[in-house]
Amino acid sequence: MSEKYDVAIIGAGIGGLVCGCYLAKAGLKVIIVEQQNKPGGYCTSFERQGYRFDVGVHYLGSLREKGVLSEILRGLDLLDRIKLIRNDPTDRIITPDKTIFIRKDQNKTINELISHFPKEKENIKRLFNLIINEDFLSLYSKLRNRTFQDLLDIFLTDHKLKAILSTMLGNLGLSSSQSSGFVGAIIYKEFVLDGGYYPKGGIQNLPDLLAEKFREYGGVLLLSNRVTRIMTKQKKVMGVKLQDKGCIVSKFVVSNVDAHLTFNTLLDCECNERKVVNKLKISNSAFVVYLGLKKQLNIKPKHFTTWFFSTYDIEKCYNFQSDKKKQLIPSFDYLLCSFPSLIDKSLVPSGKGIMRIFVGARYASVKMWENSKNELYNKIITRASRMLPDLAESIELKVIGTPRSFYNYTSNRNGALFGWQALPSQTSKSIFPYQTSIKNLYLSGHWVTNGMGQSGISVVALSGREAAKIIVSAKG
């Protein structure tokens, strides 16, 4: 038997959840279908032996008074319901001869950089004045055709300073010469300079809260089920077919999943997007090590994330194309390490700790990863032990995530972490807008090119809200 809804949403990632909440709040009958047994996508957590690990997101940004995410949560009456922990500093950047701290006060971060590069004082101020004070449209106009390296070269001269500021592009999985200058500026504006907000109890609490609000508004969340087809008639959506429970008839469909999956597999008719989707470049994946520790590591000052680099050649670290050998892990010259239990002790058994180590990686066959993952794990632990000498002896639990793991969990092609690559050529609103060529089929999530690129949870949430606005207006 089929059920009728105003809107069916495919995928309960943050974009899908926010979209669902705003639609249900507006009085529409909405269902969200999610293949996993919990909502959140990459913004989820899992437990092993009393340790709670965050899958992908290491903290939230854009939660200042007028930040993008705070406005979205306020619009859903959720801002006062989410318990946030914030620490100072939020991040530590370690290079061969410097240690830089990112502070929760943006002025202190700027002063931290100036203290290490006094000759660049005025240049640093001018760069961050642009990033902080210009609005989105102004930044887009000035930077849409430039790379982040172009932006750094306009303002700065010291190559080490440029390299240090490029490290944060690990949040995009791209080098500074590849990534959009506009998207890089948004990463700083909405995440680096306004980051370090951690939901008490783990990242999972954000999607759980959104799911709870969605149900309060009357929405239906169907977990552990998969959409197998987007049904259309004369290029107009009619609803979706489910793997286990028949079909859902709906006037509108919102796809919050991989655009390749949406247009190459799910959609039952030809469309313009099918030609475009196969030409665009997707973001890289990662090899991630989740560690349960016998004791809390002695890290002072305590912070969420360490960016550890053994070289100033950040371009080499993040540019997969420079790896001519096509290795599974193109570079061991950097590690991204997060320590959430330093800030939130509720994540671990008493007296213990957790750590997550992240490095960019390629998609490959199950066999290749099974044959290589333990060797790669040992190399990563050896590298991390240069920074944390007591790490190896403290490990009592390890969980390894490969690009295959992330593909299996999200259905993102090749385990992509950030949707499309944030290239200058791929941030235009016109490439993959909210509204598709199929009548009443809309998109949300990090596969939407909304002009702001794939700039973290806040922008993904924004895509959900904007898609909902368009649908409410269209329903009239």
Identify whether residues 230 and 339 lie together within a single domain: no
Range name among 136-140, 244-248, 437-441 with the lowest pLDDT average: 244-248
Residue 441 domain flag? yes
Distance separating alpha carbons of residues 103 and 47, to the nearest angstrom: 30
Whether 284 contacts 361, CB under 8 Å: yes
Looking at the domain assignment, is residue 167 inside a domain? yes
Residue type, 316: K
Domain assignment of residue 18, yes or no: yes
End position of a domain, from candidates 158, 192, 226: 192
Residues 126 and 258 in one domain: no
pLDDT one-digit tens code per residue, 195-221:
999 999 999 999 999 999 999 999 999
Q: Does residue 90 fall inside a structural domain?
A: no
Residue 97 lies inside a defined structural domain of this protein = no
Mean pLDDT score, 84-91: 97
Instruction: Please indicate, yes or no, if residue 399 is contained in any of the structural domains.
Output: yes
The predicted pLDDT at position 1 comes to 43
Judged against a pLDDT cut of 70, whether residue 287 lies above it is answered with yes
| pLDDT mean across residues, the chain | 95
Is 266 among the domain residues? yes
Tell me whether residue 89 is in a domain. no
Say which range, 66-70, 145-149, 323-327, 371-375, has the weakest mean pLDDT: 323-327
Looking at the DSSP assignment, which residues form a beta bridge with residue 247?
2, 241
Whether residues 252 and 348 fall in one domain: no
Tokens of 118: 């006094």
Whether 78 and 209 map to the same domain: the answer is yes
Kindly report the CA angle at 302 between 298 and 307, in degrees rounded to 5?
95
Q: What is the mean pLDDT of residues 226-244?
A: 96
Q: Are residues 271 and 288 in the same domain?
A: no
Mark whether 216 and 298 lie in a shared domain: no
Same structural domain for residues 391 and 310? yes
Task: State pLDDT tens for residues 113-130.
Answer: 999 999 999 999 999 999
CA distance 284 to 415: 8
Q: Looking at the 3D structure of the chain, how many domains does it have? A: 3
- Please tell me whether residues 300 and 397 are part of one structural domain: yes
- The answer on 398 and 337 residing in a single domain is yes
Q: Which of 131, 162, 192 is the last residue of a domain?
A: 192
What's the pLDDT band for 150 if we cut at 50, 70, 90? very high
Q: What is the pLDDT of residue 355?
A: 98
Q: Which helix (H) or strand (E) holds 141?
A: helix 136-143
Co-location of 124 and 178 in the same domain:
yes
DSSP character string of 433-455: -SB-SSBTEEE-STT---SS-S-
Residue 288 sits in a domain whose CATH number is 3.30.519
Torsion over CA: 398, 400, 405, 410 (sign): positive
Domain end call among 129, 161, 192: 192
Under the phi-then-psi rule, with left for phi > 0, alpha for psi from -120 to 50, and beta for the rest, what region is 361?
A: beta
> Which has the closest alpha carbon to 90: 318, 307, 352?
307
- Of residues 183, 201, 377, 186, the one with CA closest to residue 288: 377
**Residue 76 · residue 21 · CB < 8 Å:** yes
Tokens 């490959």 found at: 364
Residue 455 pLDDT class (50, 70, 90 cuts) = low
What distance, in Å, lies between the first and last C-alpha atoms of the chain? Answer: 28
Domain range enclosing 132: 107-192
* CB distance 87 to 303 below 8 Å: yes
Same domain for 306 and 228: no
Domain identity same for 234 and 317: no
Distance between CA 224 and CA 418 in Å, rounded?
Answer: 23
What percentage of residues in the chain have a pLDDT greater than 70? 98
CATH number at residue 265: 3.50.50.60
Place of tokens 């932006």: 151
- Residue 253, pLDDT above cutoff 80: yes
